[in-house]
């Protein structure tokens, strides 16, 4: 491979990553400076030094690509875009109403089904009997993280979906933590109201709850 091709391909990758991740101006300036350093410092691949040059070039390229990836995961300052992606995903799953994998109105029974999770599903007010009849659950994902999805039939005849997933701030973004006294946030995605909060390291997302509901 021509030694000049790596910086060219790298610059193209950075440009594509910028379009997809919407890096801030400060992040992009820092990344472009690093790319320029790699370009200027690319060792000459001549004679007996070609192995050293190749190793250094690959190492530098890997380092910059890692920086691109990490910067792409950095949440925006207000966290809105990450929260909106979570809300949009759970609203889409709610509207699809895919078949349940396990049916039961007993949360303990459902817990025994979700053995692939790295946490134990917990009781939350939307799953309480006073707020509706638990129908069952299925596996799903929230931004690539394996999650439990529960379906509840409310007394008014509506269906509510409750999601529980191990919270990862780098994937889900900043979410209100009830353990710190913060209140859940309500977003509307695809015409569906979505309530989001974190408690005990678990991210909860509930669809179909009325705005202003105290549940």
Residue 44 above 70 pLDDT?
Answer: no
Residue 69, pLDDT > 70, answer no
User: What does the pLDDT look like over 150-185, one tens digit per residue?
Assistant: 999 998 889 999 999 999 999 999 999 999 999 999
> pLDDT: is 133 or 25 the higher one?
133
Q: Which residue has the higher pLDDT, 13 or 32?
A: 32
- Is the per-residue pLDDT at 71 higher than 70? no
pLDDT at residue 50, as a whole number: 41
pLDDT of 40:
59
Of residues 172 and 80, the one with the higher pLDDT is: 172
Q: Is the pLDDT of residue 7 over 70?
A: no
User: What would the mean pLDDT of 43-70 be, rounded to a whole number?
Assistant: 47
Residue 39 scores a pLDDT above 70: no
* pLDDT reported for residue 144: 95
How do the domains of the chain map onto residue ranges? 5-73, 80-207
pLDDT band at 3; cut points 50, 70, 90: very low
74-77, long-range: CB < 8 A, 24+ apart? 74/23, 74/27, 75/169, 75/170, 75/173, 75/174, 76/22, 76/24, 77/24
Give 79 or 208, the one with higher predicted confidence: 208
Residue 81 has what pLDDT?
75
Amino acid 94: pLDDT: 95
């Amino acid at each position: 491979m021509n030694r000049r091709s790596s910086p060219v391909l790298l610059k193209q990758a950075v440009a594509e990553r910028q379009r997809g991740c919407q890096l801030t101006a400060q992040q992009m300036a820092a990344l472009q400076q690093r790319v320029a350093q790699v370009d200027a410092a690319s060792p000459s691949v001549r004679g007996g030094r070609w192995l050293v040059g190749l190793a250094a070039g690959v190492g530098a390229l890997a380092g910059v690509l890692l920086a691109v990836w990490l910067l792409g995961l950095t949440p925006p300052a207000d966290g809105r875009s990450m929260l909106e992606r979570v809300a949009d995903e759970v609203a889409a799953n709610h509207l699809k109403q895919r078949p349940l994998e396990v049916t039961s109105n007993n949360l303990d029974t459902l817990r025994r089904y979700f053995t692939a999770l790295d946490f134990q599903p917990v009781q939350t007010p939307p799953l309480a009997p006073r707020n509706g009849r638990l129908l069952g659950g299925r596996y799903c994902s929230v931004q690539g993280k394996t999650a439990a999805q529960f379906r509840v039939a409310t007394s008014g005849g509506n269906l509510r979906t409750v999601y529980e997933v191990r919270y990862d701030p780098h994937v889900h973004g900043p979410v209100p933590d009830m353990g710190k006294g913060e209140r859940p946030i309500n977003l509307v995605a695809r015409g569906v109201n979505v309530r989001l909060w974190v408690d005990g390291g678990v991210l909860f997302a509930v669809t179909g709850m009325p705005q202003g509901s105290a549940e």
